Structure 1
Amino acid sequence: MRSGIESALGPVSTAAAVFGCWQVGTPQRQHVVAEAIADAWRGRPWPGPGLRSYAVLAADDGTTLLHFSQVDDLDDVPAQDLTWKQQVDAAVPGIERTGVTAGVLRRSTPAYGPAAEAACAVLVTRIFDGPDAERANRLVDAMFESSAGTPPAKGLLSAHFYVSPDGTKVFNYALWISADAHRQAIEKRPAELEANAQWQRVHAYPGLLSTSFQRFRPLLRLAPTTRS
């Protein structure tokens, strides 16, 4: 089984995911590194059926690459031949790998549109002051409850909330029709939502240290294929 290569964002379809970030320096190097990854994976056997897809996305800061791997089970992630990273490093020296965090899918919104229409992914990262998976799960549930009466933002296609196994991080990986649609949603957030006391409590949740987000555009998506 080989890997099929494309550049579009795919749907979220697994119970868990692994997020990793690389710092590569410039917008040009973002593209060069993605091309090197595609070359390194091309022709290699797919790691295993538990890895459903692997995507590389470029942040709008011009230096960050997000690696988003969809897996069926964090306790059974397929082993990889990691020599592909050595091949990438040889092609593009100077990559800084800044960490990997896994997450279990807690909740997803309905699909408001097809993932194939997405040109932007937004990753919101919430960090707590210590491990507590139950607390992190409650935060996700509270976020859904606080926005239950508010229509989805224009341009939002879907949003998926992951909790790290130790509960120190909550990720919201959301697909948008465009980066501009996300900007507009932030600038024109409904007044009734911001005035909602439950929504305000969610954003000042006990133990929540920080909330940050980055916008990404798709560069590379790999998925298994039976083609030789």
Structure 2
Amino acid sequence: MTRRTDTHPDLTRPDAGAPFFSTWRVGTPERQRQAVEAIARTWERRPWPADGLRSYHVYTGHDGETLLHHSQWASEQAYEAFVKTHRQERVDEIDTAVPGIERLGLGRYRRHGGLERAAGDTRVPGLVVIVRADFAPEAAERRAGWVDLLLGTVERGHGLISAHFHLSTDGTHVLNYAEWESAGAYDDVPAAHWDGARTWPGLRGFTSGRYGHALGLVPGPSATDGTAAPAGRGR
């Protein structure tokens, strides 16, 4: 079965070898709410679709127009099997409930490293910030060094809970998923730690977005043994 959770995903879990992110444009805050409700109904009325899917989370953009999706897969092959057997029926039901959703593309990643949540830290993130850094095609191999440079300057505190850097498998960009206590805490921190990285060879520029966690879906108790699949660390 499929179970809803308020727990934020654990981006460091070792059994999620293929993290995916995607964005939908739905247009208005009301349609954001309707789309989240439609996703929840569509998934909760069906069995959990694949052993290789660890979790699926949806976030509402502070822009009032977009939804961010983050799914944790054991492998890309597990996702491709899901596409062949279960994805379309879910898409069709959601689109019937909320017509006109614009799907802006799916990004496939590998987590490169980051600032992990401190041991014993039980704060619940009030804000998730996504920063995308785009690179020229010839600079794909320089992305890891750019991330390592930033990791040498990022410090926990001032409201930052964690930061996770992902390299896109197509070689085009880096995605940073950062958990903050609140939007106010994020606004109070100067962006100076990015300064040294802005002139990195091959870096083309940044885009960013602010999101709130709206929906978490994870495997429910097994029908055979009554146990629940792991959902990651508590948030």
Determine if the TM-score, normalized by the shorter chain, exceeds 0.5.
yes
Which residues of structure 2 form unaligned runs of 5+?
224-235
2:197 aligned with 1:202, yes or no?
Answer: yes
Per-residue CA deviations over 1:161-220 (Å, capped at 9, x if unaligned) read 00011221100001111122111124xx5xxx55xxxx6341221111111211100111
Shift in CA distance, 17/11, structure 1 to aligned 2, threshold 3 Å:
same
8 A Cα contact 1:120 1:176, kept in partner: yes
Distance 1:8 1:212 in 2: 27
Aligned position for 1:52: 54
Distance 2:49 2:140 in 1: 29
TM-score in terms of structure 2 length = 0.84
8 A Cα contact 1:103 1:164, kept in partner: yes
Shift in CA distance, 161/151, structure 1 to aligned 2, threshold 3 Å:
closer
By how many angstroms is 1:84 displaced? Answer: 0.7
Aligned position for 2:112: 106
Shift in CA distance, 162/119, structure 1 to aligned 2, threshold 3 Å:
same
Distance 1:55 1:115 in 2: 19
Distance 2:146 2:97 in 1: 42
Aligned position for 1:139: 146
TM-score in terms of structure 1 length = 0.86
2:4 aligned with 1:5, yes or no?
Answer: yes
User: What SS class does the counterpart of residue 9 from structure 1 fall into?
Assistant: coil
Query: For this pair of structures, how many residues does the alignment match?
Result: 215
Aligned position for 2:133: 126
Which aligned pairs between 1:163-174 and structure 2 lie closer than 5 A?
163-174=167-178
By how many angstroms is 1:105 displaced? Answer: 0.3
Q: Which range is displaced more, 50-59 or 108-117?
A: 108-117
Give the partner amino acid of 2:159.
Answer: G
2:82 aligned with 1:79, yes or no?
Answer: yes
User: What SS class does the counterpart of residue 171 from structure 1 fall into?
Assistant: strand
Distance 1:52 1:152 in 2: 27
8 A Cα contact 1:16 1:162, kept in partner: no
Q: Which range is displaced more, 119-128 or 8-17?
A: 8-17
Shift in CA distance, 104/175, structure 1 to aligned 2, threshold 3 Å:
same
By how many angstroms is 1:115 displaced? Answer: 6.3
Which aligned pairs between 1:158-197 and structure 2 lie closer than 5 A?
158-186=162-190, 189=191
Distance 1:26 1:8 in 2: 26
